[in-house]
Amino acid sequence: MKPFIVPKDATSWVEVAPGSDFPIQNLPFAVVDHKGRGEGMVCAIGDFALDLTYLYEEGFIDEEEFPWLDSMAALDREMMTELRSRIFTLLSAENSELRDNAKHRKRALLPLAGLAFQVPIPPTTFVDFYSGIHHASNVGRMFRPDQPPLLPNYRHVPIGYNGRASSVVATGTNIIRPKGQTKAPDAEGPSFGPTAEMDFELEMGFYIGHGQEMGKRITCKAAEEHILGMVIVNDWSARDVQRWEYQPLGPFLSKSFATSVSPWLVTLDALEPFRIEGMEQDPEVLHHIRRQGQQHFDINLEVWLQSAKMKKPQRICVSNAKHLYWSMSQQLAHQTSNGTPVEFGDLYASGTISGPEEGSFGSMLELTWRGSKPLTLEETGETRTFLEDGDVLTMKAFAESDGLRIGFGACSGKILPAN
């Protein structure tokens, strides 16, 4: 499949401010709720969302060529590539179809502020991997200090678990502090109540376009043909609940209360200039999940925290998707290696993406080293070990080099008190 890569020097008649996440080279898709008109797909350009529903109604997108897009359900990677190519043409500086029609231009371009973003695709399946090797090492150091930081399987098999698809929510959705069963080390027995260790996990995720039937697998080489695009994922976590429940079958209620995703599905075509080899894999992994060429992406990641008392958020983490040990393609090849089917709308999250040093850790657990080194919020002097009620946690992601920026926008959520 040939990617559609917008030339680096291409420009749009829509003005795009320098540093925008959404130049004409990006063209990511989202689903918004138009008040009174139901849901529809939009495509980002600068500070605007191009309303695809309107373009259909007015004949700018051919219904014969593309199915009606009130959701992404009809899309596979090939069709998305063609749709992006058509939108590129419409938005190109040289193209007059929309540019020179004031009425259509005004109606088709919706200001980004004020849009009600939905989950890009409500997933049918949600899997959470554990492919951030620095995160896995940090967790090992904290919880198994007398053993090597990584378990013996880590460099051989992409670790993951089946999460809960029904609690995947859109950016901006408030997160109610979950209750759960915990046991303090010195307590005689467990108790039930609001988590005292509310945490986030900085992750990226990918959605499946066309799937694979049961009994067949997706090879590492073919995996990207099945990947519709990427989003930011916040895998909210209740650490005290997790600690008590996770053995021997893995996390359950400590993760399933909510997972937030960013609104824009950023295509691999747009990320093409940011391909990288990824970190060395040693020892060499088994053939069925061996890496094929450059299957990682250089994507900058940031986490920002704002308490109820603060006027501005503070950046608390700077990381990068290059710190993933396993690529998306390897994750998908591994997932299907036993013949399990994958379907349109499956969401796969990477695992927490921490960098190697302090300040690049992708969870409060690591940033405060299990609560032993509280974070100070400079503006108010407040401190944090884990998240408090009223805190707003925002993740950002963008690939950037030589003046080209492909952004993901933001994934945000506010913690509300337990019910």
Distance CA 339, CA 102 (A): 53
Cα 295 to the center of its chain, rounded Å: 17
Minimum distance, C-beta of residue 352 to Mn ion, in the bound complex (Å) = 5
128 binds Mn ion (CB under 5 A): yes
Which is nearer to Mn ion, 235 or 346 (by Cβ)?
235
DSSP one-letter code for 321: G
Interaction residues for Mn ion, span 321-340 (CB under 5 A): none
Smallest separation (angstroms) from Mn ion to the CB of 135? 9
Contact mark string toward Mn ion, 77..116, x via CB under 5 A: ----------------------------------------
Site for Mn ion in 231-260 (CB under 5 A): 235
Whole-number minimum distance, CB 235 to Mn ion, in Å? 4
Residues 419, 416: Cα–Cα separation, whole Å? 9
Q: Provide the CB-side half-sphere exposure for 391 (13 A, CA).
A: 20
Q: What angle do CA 71, 74, 79 make, to 5 degrees?
A: 115
* Minimum distance from residue 237 beta carbon to Mn ion (Å): 7
Asked whether the beta carbons of 199 and 239 are under 8 A apart, the reply is yes
Candidate segments 5-13, 199-207, 239-247, 299-307, binder of Mn ion by CB under 5 A: 199-207
d(CA 69, CA 63): 9
**Three state DSSP letters for 163-175:** CCHHHEEECCCCE
Closest residue (Cβ) to Mn ion? 235
Is residue 366 part of the contact set for Mn ion (CB under 5 A)?
no
Residue number, 53 or 254, with CB nearest to Mn ion: 254
Q: Is residue 199 part of the contact set for Mn ion (CB under 5 A)?
A: no
- Which candidate in 134, 135, 296, 323 is catalytic? 135
Cα 404 to Cα 21: distance, rounded to the nearest angstrom? 9
CB of 152 to Mn ion, least distance (A): 21
CA 155 to each of CA 135, 328, 338, 393, 408: distance values in angstroms, whole numbers, following the listed order? 14, 15, 19, 31, 29
For the CB of residue 313, give the shortest distance to Mn ion in the complex, in Å.
Answer: 22
Q: How many residues bind Mn ion (CB under 5 A)?
A: 3
DSSP conformation letters of 328-353:
HHHHHHHHTTT---B-TT-EEE----
Rounded to a whole number of angstroms, the minimum distance from the CB of residue 10 to Mn ion is 37
Cβ proximity to Mn ion, 235 vs 269, nearer residue? 235
Q: Which is nearer to Mn ion, 128 or 366 (CB)?
A: 128
Of the pair 28, 163, the CB lying nearest Mn ion is at 163
Out of 21, 201, 224, 346, which residue is the one contacting Mn ion (CB under 5 A)? Answer: 201
Strand partners, 208: 227
Please state whether beta strands 160-162 and 126-129 pair in parallel, antiparallel, or not at all (unpaired): antiparallel
- Closer to Mn ion by CB, 270 or 395: give it: 395
Active site (annotated) includes residue 135: yes
Closer residue to Mn ion, CB minimum distance, 139 or 285:
139
Cα→Cα distances 370→138, 226, 259, 342, Å: 10, 38, 21, 36
Which residues are identified as catalytic?
A: 135
Sites of contact with Mn ion (CB under 5 A): 128, 201, 235
